[in-house]
Amino acid sequence: MSVTLVSGVPGVGASTVAAEAVSELDEYRLFNFGDAMLEAAGVRGIVESRDELSELSEGEQSALQRYAAEYIRDEASNGPIVVTTNFAVRTSHGYLPGLPDPVLHEMSPERLVVVEAKPETVAERREGDEYRDYPEPTESGIRFHQRMNRTAAFVYSSRSSATVHHVPNEEGAEEAAEKLTQVLSQ
Amino acid sequence: MRIPEIRNLIVREIEFPVSCNEVKETIGDVCIETPLGSEEELDDVLGRCGAREFKSADELYDAVVGNVSGEHIGRKKYDDRGPSLGQDEVSF
């Protein structure tokens, strides 16, 4: 079982980087942790859209995280997977760990990848994204969230013995995807 | 195929931007299912979608999730692990 978790603040392009890397590696499959949470929430009639997930109570989110982690664990038993997720989740109640201990234990990641760019670059990308709405437009907010992600990654590493990898996405997704591909091929 | 698996399929089979008709031609025959067992073809799901074009994988994925039939949606607030999520347990 090989699980690689990839995270970055909203708008940094972590999903695009992960998608491009996986498309170059036949043995890997790509999942998104939020997709699994959304499926579990939809089946239970809790939310109808992705945006509503961050508005749920801490208890509701924890339960959905457990469902998603179990799903990811099952999928990983069929071959190596890359999962895009949030190491630190910004909710209306404050920041929460995206991977509480039971969730981390369930998925047993082998690698933790942090995708980053300069806060001003992320802010620019957010402004240029016509599809998604972003809740935190300030550069200081983005900087803080990126620091939270780094901190969270190292905490998760100390609890799971997964290795932490840094993938800068400053120049463009293609270059970052190449770096991620190298990490996945190690 | 479960709904979360659709993202991997999209990443591997579709190049963006793409028309809704091209998506149907490429992966329309794929069946999507829920953990509860019901399933339907992606072609039918996208048939309910008003979009003519998708600019990104996120946009297409959201269109799929947003247009699955009501059979994919469970009982409101139902949880198969005991007390319903987000509700206090009430004893009568």
Give me the residue from B3, B57, B85 closest to A44, CB to CB: B85
B79 or A173, which is more confident: A173
Contacts of A40 (CB under 8 A, 6+ apart): A64, A67, A68, A71, B35
Residues of chain B contacting residue A46, judged by C-beta atoms under 8 Å apart: 77, 85-86
Contact A19 B11 (CB under 8 A): yes
Q: Which helix (H) or strand (E) segment is A122 a member of?
A: helix A119-128
d(CA A75, CA A55): 27
pLDDT at A86 over 70: yes
Give me the residue from B3, B58, B85 closest to A46, CB to CB: B85
**pLDDT given for residue B74 in this prediction:** 55
Which amino acid is present at B2? R
Domains and CATH numbers, chain A: 3-31+80-185 (3.40.50.300)
Residues of chain B contacting residue A132, judged by C-beta atoms under 8 Å apart: 58
Q: Tell whether B71 is within 8 A of chain A (Cβ).
A: no
**pLDDT given for residue A136 in this prediction:** 60
pLDDT digits (tens, 9 = 90+) for B29-85: 999 987 677 789 999 999 998 889 999 998 999 899 888 877 666 544 445 454 444
d(CA A133, CA A11): 10
Buried b (16+ CB within 10 A) or exposed e, A52-76: ebbebeeebbebbbbbbbebbbebb
Q: Which two tokens stand for residue A56?
A: 């749920």
Q: What is the mean pLDDT of chain A?
A: 91
What was the ipTM of the complex prediction? 0.84
Contact A19 B85 (CB under 8 A): no
Residues of chain A contacting residue B79, judged by C-beta atoms under 8 Å apart: 44, 63
Q: Which helix (H) or strand (E) segment is A5 a member of?
A: strand A3-7
Burial tier of A30 (Cβ tally within 10 Å: 0-12, 13-18, 19+): buried
Contacts of B82 (CB under 8 A, 6+ apart): none
pLDDT digits (tens, 9 = 90+) for A112-149: 999 999 999 999 999 988 888 887 668 999 999 999 99
Q: Tell whether A70 is within 8 A of chain B (Cβ).
A: no
